[in-house]
Structure 1
C-alpha cells in the first residue's frame, strides 16, 4: 500500500511538473505574440503595405497601451511564481491546475486586446484583477493588499471616504491626545522648581495672609492640556461632520478607480485637528485682538465659558476652511507690519553705521595727510641742519 501511495505521489509530481513547464512555454508564446503584433505594423509601414488605419489608432490609444503593459507585467509575475513553485521539492497538483486556469484566462484577455475590435477593455481588466488577487493571496500581507485594491477599484466613493475616516480614527483619538499629554508632562518636568521648605513656625502666618489657594503647576498643566485637547477634538469633529454632509459631492464617475476619496477621509480630520490647535494658540496669545474669550460674570464660570468658546470656534474652523483661512490671514497681517518695522529699523541702523564708518574713514585720511606733512617738514628741517653743518 505504501508503494502504491509513493507511485501515486510520483505521478502527481510528474504531472504538476509537466503542467508548469507547459505554462512557461505558453507565457513565452503570449509575449512573443504581442511582439509580433507590433512588429507586423512596423514592417507594414516601412514597406508601404496597406494597413488598416483602425489598427494603428487602436494600438496608439493610451488606455489600450496601458492595459497591454499591465497584462504583460502580470504574465511576468505569473512566470516568476511558476519558477518559484518549480523549486519546491513537493508540488501541489491542485495549485498547478489552478495556475493553468489562470494562465489560460490571461491568454483569453490578451487575445481579446490584440483583436482590436473594441476599446471597451473592462473584460480584460476584470480577468487581470482576478489573477492579481490570486497572486497577492500567495504573498505576505496579501490579504491587506487585496483589501485596499478591491476598495479602490470596486467600492463607491462615499464608502471610500468612510474607509479613510476609519483608518485615521486611531490617530486622532489616541495618537494626538497622547502626544499632547506626553509633551505637557515633559514641560512640567523641565520647569519644576525644587525650593527649600519653609520653617514650620512661619506656616500659620502665611496661611492667614493667603486669601484663596493658588493652582499648582500640575493643575495648570491639566487645565491647559484639557483646553488644547478640547480644541483639537472639536476641530476633528468639525471636519468629520463636514465630510459626512458633503458625501454627495463625491460622484462615482469622477472618483471611480481612484484612491483620492480614501485620502480625503484620512487627511481632512487631521487638518481639522491642526487648525483647532492653531486657532486656540492664536487666540490665547492675543495675536488677533478682534477675537477674544467672552468675559464671565462670576469667576467660577470663567473656565466653563473658555471651554465652550474654544470648542465652538475650533468646531467651526474644522467644519469650514474659510474661517481658518480668514484667521490665518489676520495673523499674517499682524506679523507682517511688525516684521516690516523691524526691517526698516535695521536698515536705518545700518545706514547710520555706514555713515559713521565713512566719517571715520575721512578722519583717517585727514590724519594720514597730517602725518605725511609732518614727515615732510621733519625731512626739510633735517636737510637744512645738514647744510648748515657742512658750511
Structure 2
C-alpha cells in the first residue's frame, strides 16, 4: 500500500520518543522516592532486628520453642532478604522471590517471635516490642506490595510503548475497525494517565490515529476515482452513437474536476479537507452516472457546480475564493431574483451611460426636440446654450422613460421566469444579464422612436402632427411612444421592418420618394353572421388579402382595385374578432378588424 503521507512515520517516531521521555522522567521520579523510602524502612528493619536479638538474650527458651540461636539466625536471614528485596525493587528490578513467599516468611517469623514473647509474659517490656513488631510487619508487607506493583507496571508500560509503536506502524483503517488496536490504545491511556501532561500526549496520539485514517481515506478516494474514470471510459466507448454535444461537455468538465481532486489529494492531510474532497468525488460520481443512459443535464450541472465550488474551498488563493463567491451568486439565487437584481442595477447603469462625457457630447449635438418659446434677448450664444441644456434634459427624460418601460415589462413578466416550461437558461448568468440589459435596451428603443418620429421616413405620426414641436401634446405623445417602445418587445422590430421596406421600395422604384402608407377603411367594423362589409384600400394597387383565423369568412376582390368586400361566416361566436390583412408587393401591410355580432 502506498503511503500518501510520508511524514506519518516521522510523527510516529516523535510521539514514541516523547512518550518514552515522559515515562522515563516519571519512572525516575517514582524510583527516587522509593529509594528514599527503602532507606528509611531498611534502617527501621535493622534497628528492630538488633532490638529483637538483644531482647532474646534476656528471655527464657524451653521446648517446644526453637533455641535462641536458631531464632536469631531466622531473624537475621529474613530481615536481610527483605532489605535486599526492597532495595532491588526500589531500583526498578523484579526480585527472584515471589511476593507471596516473602509475605509467608514474614508472617511465620512474626508468629514464632510472638510465641516466645507469650512464653515470657512476665517481662513488662515485651508488649511494647510486640506492637513495634506488628507495625513493622504491616508496613514491610505494604511496601513490598507497592514497590512490586509499581515495578511490574513500569515494565509492562515499557512493553506497551513498544507494542503501540509496532501497531501504529502497521495500523490501517481500510479493512475494518481494528478492535485489538482500539483496546491497546485504551489500555495505553489508562496506564499512562498519571503522566505529567498526559492529556497533551493523548491528543497527539488521537491526532496521529486520525491522520492515519485520513491517509487511508485518501487511498480509498484515489481508488474510487480511478475505478470511476475507467468505467466511464468503457461505457462511453461502448456507445454506438455519438453522445450529445452538451453531454460530452459535461462529462469533460466532470472528468477534469475529478483529475484536479486527485492532485489535491496528494497535497492535503487535514481530515476536514479530505472529507471535502470526498464530497466532491461523491457529487462527481453521481453526476457522471446521471449522464450515462438517459442524460439528466440539469442534475449533472448542479452537481458539477457543487463539486467545483467544494474543491475550491480547499485550494489556496484569493482567486478561488472570489470564484466561489461568483458561482454562489450565480447558482444560489432563483431565476426571478437574478432578473430583479439585474433590473435594479440597470437603471443607475443606464443613467451613468447617458451622462458619460462621450454620450453626453453626442446627445448635445442633436437638433432640438421641440421649438423653444424663450424670447431671451441677452444674446444668441446664451440662447443656444440654454436650448441645448433643455434639449439634453428632454433626451435624458425620453431615454429614461424607455428604460422605465423596459423595467416595467420585466416586472410584469417576473413570475414567468420561475416557470421551467416557459424559461430555460443553460447559462446561470443569462437571467441576470437579461435583467441588466432589457431596461437599457428599452432606452435604446426609445431613442430609435425619437429618431424616426423626427425624420421623413416615419410610418408613425403623433396626433396633432409634428409641425408644432412646442406643443405639449407632441411631447407627451413622444414620452408615451418611448415608454411603449421600452415595454413592447415586438413594436420596434416591426417598426424597423416597415422602415426597411419603405427604404427598399424607394431604392428599387423611381426614386421620387417613399410610397405612402397603406390604409384600409373602415379600420374596424361590427358585422352579423352572413353579413357583408365593403372596404376601401388606399393607395390603389395590387394587394394580397388574407383573413385570420383562416376559413372565418370570404373575401371578394372582383369589384374594383380600390375596394373589396368581406362576407362574415354563417356561424361562430358573438364577439369573435376577424383580422383582415392587405399586403402589397413591396411587403407593406395594412389591417382592419371585424367583430362578429349576434
TM-score over 0.5 (shorter chain): yes
Q: 1:37 aligns with which of 218, 225, 231?
A: 231
State the 1:312 CA deviation: 0.9
| Higher relative contact order structure (alpha carbons within 8 Å, sequence separation ≥ 6) | 1
Alignment-derived partner of residue 97 in structure 1:
271
State the 1:9 CA deviation: 12
State the 1:270 CA deviation: 1.8
State the 1:245 CA deviation: 1.3
Q: 1:324 aligns with which of 481, 492, 505?
A: 492
Indicate conservation of the 8 Å contact 1:136/1:145, yes or no.
no
Alignment-derived partner of residue 310 in structure 1:
478
Q: 1:216 aligns with which of 362, 377, 383?
A: 383
- Aligned positions, number: 295
Q: 1:281 aligns with which of 440, 451, 456?
A: 451
Deviates more, 1:326-335 or 1:16-25: 16-25
Alignment-derived partner of residue 256 in structure 2:
73
Indicate conservation of the 8 Å contact 1:164/1:265, yes or no.
yes
Q: 1:227 aligns with which of 383, 388, 394?
A: 394
Alignment-derived partner of residue 134 in structure 1:
310
Distance verdict in 2 for CA 1:126–1:243, change over 3 Å: closer
- 1:194-249 per-residue CA deviation (whole Å, 9 max, x = no partner) reads xxxxxxxxxxxxxxxxx753562211211221222122111111111111112243
Alignment-derived partner of residue 261 in structure 1:
431
State the 1:255 CA deviation: 3.6
Indicate conservation of the 8 Å contact 2:445/2:486, yes or no.
yes
Distance verdict in 2 for CA 1:7–1:221, change over 3 Å: farther
Supply the distance in 2 between the matched residues of 1:76 and 1:225 (Cα, whole angstroms): 58
* Structure richer in strand, relative to its length: 2
Supply the distance in 2 between the matched residues of 1:322 and 1:110 (Cα, whole angstroms): 43
Distance verdict in 2 for CA 1:222–1:341, change over 3 Å: farther
State the 1:183 CA deviation: 1.6
Indicate conservation of the 8 Å contact 1:235/1:319, yes or no.
yes
Larger Rg: 2
Distance verdict in 2 for CA 1:62–1:142, change over 3 Å: closer
SS in 1 for 2:493: helix
Gaps of 5+ in 1: 46-55, 87-92, 189-210, 345-391
SS in 1 for 2:255: helix
Alignment-derived partner of residue 252 in structure 1:
420
Indicate conservation of the 8 Å contact 1:232/1:273, yes or no.
yes
Distance verdict in 2 for CA 1:8–1:125, change over 3 Å: farther
State the 1:322 CA deviation: 3.1
Alpha carbon RMSD of aligned pairs, Å?
4.8
Distance verdict in 2 for CA 1:9–1:261, change over 3 Å: same
Distance verdict in 2 for CA 1:118–1:335, change over 3 Å: closer
Supply the distance in 2 between the matched residues of 1:282 and 1:212 (Cα, whole angstroms): 30
State the 1:37 CA deviation: 1.9
Question: Does residue 238 of structure 1 match 2:416?
Answer: no
Supply the distance in 1 between the matched residues of 2:304 and 2:459 (Cα, whole angstroms): 61
- 1:166-212 per-residue CA deviation (whole Å, 9 max, x = no partner) reads 34333212223335663258859xxxxxxxxxxxxxxxxxxxxxx75
